[in-house]
Amino acid sequence: MHKSILTVVGARPQFVKAAVLSRALRHAGLREMMVHTGQHFDPGMSDVFFKELDIPEPAHRLHIHGGAHGEMTGRMLSGLEAVMIEVKPDWVVVYGDTNSTLAGALAAAKLLIPVAHVEAGLRSFNRRMPEEVNRVVADHLATLHLCPTQLAVQNLANEGVRTHVHQVGDVMYDATLFAIERSKASPAVQDKLGLPDGYAVATVHRAENTDDPVMLRKVLDYLREKSRERSVVLPLHPRTRKSVEQHCLTLDGLRVIDPVSYLDMTQLLARACEVLTDSGGLQKEAYFHRVPCITLRTETEWVETIEHGWNRLWSTPDYAPRSDIPDYGDGRAGEKIAQLLASS
C-alpha cells in the first residue's frame, strides 16, 4: 500500500515549495492530497502559482484569511482537523513558518499523525516575529525535520531535537532551476515592463516593516534613495499596499507593480543588479541568480548568505568577501524528501 501524504499550504512561498515536492512525490509513486487554507487568496498571490507550476488542484479549500493571528490560526486548526479526520493521511507535510504551518502541524500532532516539516530549524532568534513563533512550535511538533542548511540542523540540536533530522538542501533551489528552464519560453518581463538595464527588485511585506507607519516610511525612503542610483521595481504585497493607503504614505519615485508570478519573478531576478527585500525566500533566490541582496531587517535566518558575501543587512555598510554557498544542495532536495517520506 502506497503512503498517503496530506500537504498543507496557504501562503505564496508555500505554493512554490509544494510544487517541487509534489512533482517528486508523483515520481516516487506516493499519493498526495493538498489542502489550501486560503491564507493567500488574491488570484495573483495564489491561483497563478498553481497554474504556472503545475500544482495539482487542492482537494480541500478552507477559505480562511484575515483577522488576528490567533483567530486565523484557530479557524485553520479547526478546519484542518476536520480534513485530517476525513482523509486519515500517513503523513502531514507543512512548509516554512506561516500561520498555516502552525495550524497544520498542531492539528496533525493532536491527531497523532506524523508531521514532516520542510524548512525545519531556521531561527531569527527574534520572538517578536510571528514567523519565529510558528517555526519553533512547528519544529517541536514535527516527527521528520527536513533542514535546508547545516546551521538549521545545529539550531535544532541546540533545542534538543536530534533525531529524524536531515539536511536535504533547499527546495527553493530546486524551484529556481525549474523556473529558469520554464521561463525561457516566456517573453522577457524586463521588456514587458520597459525596465532599463541595471534595475533593482524590491519587496516589502514583513509585519515589522508594514504595520508601523514610521518603519514603513523609513523603508520606502530607503528604496527611494536607492532609486536615485538605479530604477527600483517594487511588486507590492497587498498587506503593504493597505498599510501605505491607511497611513497616507507615498510610493512616488518607485516603480510599483502588482505582485508577480513565480516565473516572472525568476526572470526579473535573473537580470537584476540588486535585490532589496525583507523576504526570506528572495534573499536566497538573489544568491541563486548571483545578484547581491540587501535585507531590510535587523536579522536574517539565512546567515550563510551574509557570511558568503551575497547579502547584507541594510544597517551594515559592506558585504563580506564573496564565495559560493555549499549548503543549498544540488537541486534534488524534493527528491530526497520524497525518499525519506517513502521510507520513514
Residue 123 touching ligand UD1 (CB under 6 A): no
- Write down the residue that cell numbers 564565495 correspond to: 323
Q: Which of 36, 40, 117, 205 is catalytic?
A: 205
Residues facing residue 202 across a β-bridge: 276
DSSP H/E element including 51? helix 47-52
Q: Please identify, using beta-carbon distances, which residue of 44 and 253 lies nearer to ligand UD1.
A: 44
Q: Please identify, using beta-carbon distances, which residue of 66 and 326 lies nearer to ligand UD1.
A: 66
Distances in whole angstroms, Cα of residue 181 to Cα of each of 186, 267, 270, 287, 307: 10, 10, 12, 17, 29
Please say if 117 is a catalytic residue: no
Residue 280 Cβ, how far from ligand UD1 at the closest point, in Å? 7
Binding residue count for ligand UD1, defined by CB under 6 A: 18
Residue 66 touching ligand UD1 (CB under 6 A): yes
Contact residue for ligand UD1 among 5, 8, 34, 45 (CB under 6 A) = 45
Residue 42 touching ligand UD1 (CB under 6 A): yes
Contact residue for ligand UD1 among 41, 222, 314, 319 (CB under 6 A) = 41
Contact residue for ligand UD1 among 5, 6, 13, 267 (CB under 6 A) = 13
Identify the CA nearest to 40 among candidates 59, 63, 57.
63
Residue 99 touching ligand UD1 (CB under 6 A): yes
Assess contact for 175 and 18: CB atoms under 8 A: no
**What is the x/- site pattern for ligand UD1, positions 127-166, by CB under 6 A?**
---xx-----------------------------------
Of 10-18, 82-90, 141-149, 332-340, the window that binds ligand UD1 (rule: CB under 6 A) is 10-18
DSSP string, 128-149: TSHHHHHHHHHHHH-SEEEESS
Residue 278 touching ligand UD1 (CB under 6 A): no
Residue 118 Cβ, how far from ligand UD1 at the closest point, in Å? 14
Assess contact for 226 and 276: CB atoms under 8 A: yes
Assess contact for 200 and 232: CB atoms under 8 A: yes
d(CA 309, CA 2): 44
d(CA 332, CA 79): 33
Distances in whole angstroms, Cα of residue 105 to Cα of each of 9, 83, 100: 11, 13, 9
Residue 98 touching ligand UD1 (CB under 6 A): yes
d(CA 258, CA 251): 13
Q: Please identify, using beta-carbon distances, which residue of 30 and 76 lies nearer to ligand UD1.
A: 76
**Window 199-238: residues binding ligand UD1 (CB under 6 A):** 205, 238
234: Cβ–Cβ under 8 A, 6 or more apart, which residues?
Answer: 202, 203, 204, 223, 251, 254, 255, 256, 257
Residue 73 touching ligand UD1 (CB under 6 A): no
Of 27-35, 78-86, 95-103, 182-190, the window that binds ligand UD1 (rule: CB under 6 A) is 95-103
User: Which positions are catalytic?
Assistant: 205
Residues that bind ligand UD1 (CB under 6 A): 11-13, 39-42, 45, 65-66, 97-99, 130-131, 205, 238-239
